Amino acid sequence: MGLLTVIRKQKMKDRELRVLLLGLDNAGKSTIVKRILNQPTASLTPTMGFEITSVSFGEHNLNIWDVGGQQTLRSFWFNYFDQLDALVWVIDASQLDRLHEVFRELYTVLQNERVHGVKLLILLNKIDLVNTGLEDLTSTVIKELELDSYGPREEKWQIIQCSAITGEGIHQGLEWLTS
């Protein structure tokens, strides 16, 4: 194998990102993946275990690990933290009564040392179902999760409102991840 081949392979690897997609059950994680792939979203069932999807986005290849969010699967989330480049946490913005559970689970994930230093994208999904209070929701998430202590916003973490059904905000989130 020549030096040029090694350099090409390294450049390809440098543009490959391992992305872990987590959140509570029914937050819309799999729907977001289907939207990215331009596949139908009408008949999705809950993810039992995980699904890996590779997709090209700009100059990057994203390997997206979509892991189920049911209570019984959450203890297995930590098995997917190795060699992670980005964590995408999906919150169902239409189910504000679950925010305490969301905060507790995300806080637990962020305490794991294998997640330190990876980019964190929080997607406030299902905004098409919410009529008011989206700005307050973003502020609440930042405050409750103490995201300012995670590092500088724009560099280390970002919150984007989105809709997996309409596609709004998803492209923006991927652009931030790959920047």
CATH number for the domain that contains residue 75? 3.40.50.300
Give the pLDDT confidence of 40-74 residue by residue, as tens digits: 877 777 788 789 999 999 999 999 999 999 999 99
Angstrom distance (rounded) from CA 71 to CA 8: 42
148 among annotated binding-site residues: no
Q: What pLDDT does residue 32 have?
A: 96
Is 70 catalytic? The answer is yes
Number of domains in the chain: 1
Q: Is residue 39 part of a domain?
A: yes
Q: Is residue 50 part of a domain?
A: no
- Answer yes or no: pTM beyond 0.75: yes
Considering only CA atoms, which of 89, 17, 5 is closest in space to residue 57? Answer: 17
Domain range for 131 is 3-45+58-178
Determine, yes or no, domain membership for 53. no
Is residue 122 a part of any domain in this protein? yes
138 labelled as ligand-binding?
A: no
Whether 51 is covered by a domain: the verdict is: no
DSSP 102-159: HHHHHHHHHTSGGGTTSEEEEEEE-GGG--S-HHHHHHHHHHHTTGGGGS-BTTTEEE
Say if residues 26 and 101 touch (Cβ distance below 8 Å). Answer: no
According to DSSP, residue 165 is labeled T
Q: Which residues of the chain have pLDDT under 50?
A: 4, 6-12
Could you write out the DSSP letters of every residue in 47-95?
Answer: -SSEEEEEEEETTEEEEEEEE--SGGGGGGGGGG-TT--EEEEEEETT-
Q: Which of 10, 39, 70, 71 is catalytic?
A: 70
| Residue 156 located in a structural domain | yes
In a domain, 52, yes or no: no
Q: Is 133 annotated as a binding residue?
A: no
